[in-house]
Amino acid sequence: MFTYKTEIDPHTGEKYVPVPIKGLALAEHPMYNKGTAFTVAERDEFNLNGIYPAAVSTLEVQKQRAYASFSSEQTDLEKYIYLMSLQDRNETLHYALLLDHLTEMLPIVYTPTVGLACQKYSHIFRRPRGLYISSRNIGHIDRVLSNTSFANISLIVATDGERILGLGDLGAGGMGIPIGKISLYIAAAGLHPSECLPVMLDVGTNNEELLNDPLYIGIREKRLSGEAYDQFIAAFVDGVRRKFSALLQWEDMGKSHAFHILENNREQILSFNDDIQGTGAVAVSVLLNAMKIKGEKLRDQRYILFGQGQAGIGIGRQIAAGLMSGGLSQREAYDRIFGIDINGLLLEGMTVSDEQRPFLKPHSLVAEWQLSDANRITLLDVIKNTRASVLIGVTGQANAFDAEIIAALAANSNVPVILPLSNPTSKAECRPDVALSITGGRCLLATGSPFPAVDVNGARQVISQCNNLFIFPGIGLGALISRTARITDSMFTAASKALSACVTTDELKARQMLPPIKKIRDVSLQVALAVAIEARELGLGRREEDDALREKIAAAMWQPRYLPYRRETPRDD
């Protein structure tokens, strides 16, 4: 296990990387490998002569070659496999290429293509990345955590594969999600690859197709549950606390476990759940900018959350926090939010989870409503009777927002807001072109997955992607730089406001509610700064002025480029 570091020569001022390996070991190490960009001097010093052809390339030439190879692949899945193989060979080149073509490659390394990659993960598996922690090795967690490439881990993204995007239980195939999220942390916020660790918590799968697949790479058993599952998670968290000083991000856990894990561990270890908190924060940022375009306030709206899983509850909580920061009481805030699950509108007397209870509505509220069926209050009923102006979908039900639903919402507001947020693209509750057509171009719209621009009344309408990428990398970077002891809900509120402020007046005039992806590094810096300032104000982080915090955040953002190498003799541990 190595510790990646950069040093500065005290005599020349040159910044360089001490490298503890040479020869084929160096050529095959993805973090240290430069490929054909090793200089003649480095080839001599590190015993690389003969391993590479004679020509010495620059990073720019390598990017041209890699992009040509990427472009020649015929399908998105083939492009995904190419980028993963490039990452396994040369991480610096991989991220330099990704940053140059982020808008084009983001749908490949993450949603929607990552969903297909997770479904086929056992069939496309090439080389291990990160750690696979299972019920068979959890008893040796300290030894397993020692199998990382680098000792200086500061970020871990972990999933148990139970709820991958809108695709459900994909077992060990869910490893594609932590790998993808880490790639986004590095590209968007500049965390160094050596500090990041994707983890697959393989507790089995209840997916019969996977259990019967002879190529499946995970444990071929039903999922752990109950006390056995809780003990597994506790052992993992304890191991991470002993081994690393790291931020732990929970990702795509099942609803039955996600809230429990978040609440049980947020005081024990620096951690958050992106599906709950990150999704809520980016959605509220969209709503803040929608209000700027509408010329209205959050408190003036009625919100419908179609879907009451992690994302729906997380968004509802964050909307309520935004309303309360605007002066409403907790009860007044939740009175404006209407949650709908498989059984219809959440009403008192229904069997619900603890997390859903704040969204329950009294029967007295609906006593005078006009209903199509008195035994079940549908989405259409709620839209018509509440005069709702904001409709958010997080169900994974493709085309659930049909023409009648959209038209009913449009009847309530001159500028209705529609957020079909389910991933991947095939699971979106409606297509942007359909919603814009039905509303005559009046609606404000943001989606969970990327969609092409739409021609509206002779103008080209860019579709904002309500992507957690705008939030979670900055949250992580801000938390690490501020050295906060924990991540609070108020930090996500601060992040929402910071993201909202990144959208320019011209972008708002063009009805865009999020900044373009090409600005992602600046967005991450602004979000990280907001988090660090909030941590300071809460007495949890560095007590430094805003400018000093900004400088530290900017300095920590890694730029993928080749530094000179010098030979380092490994220590005997």
Report the side by side order of strands in the sheet with 303-306: 344-345, 337-341, 303-306, 390-393, 417-420, 444-447, 464-465
DSSP one-letter string for 509-564:
HTT--S--GGGHHHHHHHHHHHHHHHHHHTTSS----HHHHHHHHHHHS----PPP
Neighbours of 569 (CB within 10 A): 7
Please tell me which residue in 32, 110, 334, 565 is annotated as part of the active site: 110
| Backbone region of residue 495 per phi and psi (left: phi > 0; alpha: psi in -120 to 50; beta: other values) | alpha
Residue type, 534: E
**52 carries an active-site annotation:** no
Q: Contact at 8 Å (CB) between 530 and 502? A: no
Q: Contact at 8 Å (CB) between 369 and 381? A: yes
* Helix or strand run (H / E) with residue 418: strand 417-420
Neighbours of 241 (CB within 10 A): 15
- Measured in Å, how far apart are the chain's first and last C-alpha atoms? 10
| Maximum distance among all Cα pairs of the chain, rounded to whole angstroms | 84
**255 carries an active-site annotation:** no
Q: SS3 for 136?
A: coil
| Residue 37 CA: distances (Å) to CA of 51, 87, 121, 381 | 12, 16, 31, 63
Please tell me which residue in 34, 181, 294, 361 is annotated as part of the active site: 181
Q: Contact at 8 Å (CB) between 97 and 167? A: no
State CA 518 to chain mean position distance. Answer: 17
Q: SS3 for 295?
A: coil
Residues in the chain: 573
* Alpha-carbon span 253 to 566, nearest angstrom: 43
Q: Strand pairing of 15-19 and 7-8?
A: antiparallel
Q: Which of 256, 291, 261 is nearest to 274 (CA)?
A: 261
Query: Catalytic residue positions?
Result: 110, 181
